Structure 1
Amino acid sequence: MKLLDIGVLSKRSGVPPSTLRYYEEIGLIQSAARNGLRRQFEIRVATQLALISLGKMAGFSLTEIKDMFANDGTPQLPRPELHLRADTLDEQIRGLTRLRDALRHVADCPAETHMDCPKFRRLMEFASRSVATQKR
Structure 2
Amino acid sequence: MDEDMLDIAEVAERSGLAPSALRFYEQKGLISAAGRNGLRRRYDPATVDRLALVTSARNAGFTLAEIAELLSAKPADSALRERLQAKAADLEERIAQLALMRDSLLHASVCLHDPLVDCPDFWRFVRSARPRPPA
TM surpasses 0.5: yes
| % identical equivalent positions | 39
Equivalent of residue 58 in structure 1, options 49, 53, 60: 60
Matches within 5 A, 1:77-96: 78-96=80-98
Q: Which residue of 41, 44, 51 corresponds with 1:42?
A: 44
2:111 is the counterpart of 1:108: yes
Structure 1 residue 109: Cα displacement: 6.3
**Which of residues 17, 23, 34 in structure 2 aligns to 1:21?**
23
Equivalent pair of 2:103/2:125 in contact (CA under 8 Å): no
Question: Equivalent residue of 1:68, what SS?
Answer: helix
Report deviation, 1:122.
7.3
Return 5+ residue gaps in structure 2 as ranges: none
> In the aligned structure 1, how far is the partner of 2:27 from the partner of 2:34?
14
Seen in structure 2, the aligned counterparts of structure 1 residues 101 and 11 have a Cα distance that, compared at 3 Å, is closer
Distance 1:45 1:99, change over 3 A: closer
The structural deviation recorded for 1:117 is 5.7
Report what 1:30 is aligned to. 32
Distance 1:58 1:121 in 2: 26
Structure 2 length-normalised TM: 0.65
Q: 1:38 to 1:113 in 2, by over 3 A?
A: closer
Residue 76 of structure 1: how far off its partner (Å):
4.9
CA distance in structure 2 between the partners assigned to 1:10 and 1:100 by the alignment: 32
Q: Normalising by the residue count of structure 1, what TM-score does the alignment of the two structures yield?
A: 0.65
Any residues of structure 2 matched to 1:108-127 within 5 Å, and which? 108=111, 110=113
The structure with the largest alpha-carbon Rg is 1
Aligned residues: 124
Unaligned runs of 5+ in 1: none
Q: Partners in 1 of 2:43 and 2:9 — Cα distance?
A: 10
Letter in 1 for 2:92: D
Higher relative contact order (CA 8 A, sep 6+): 2
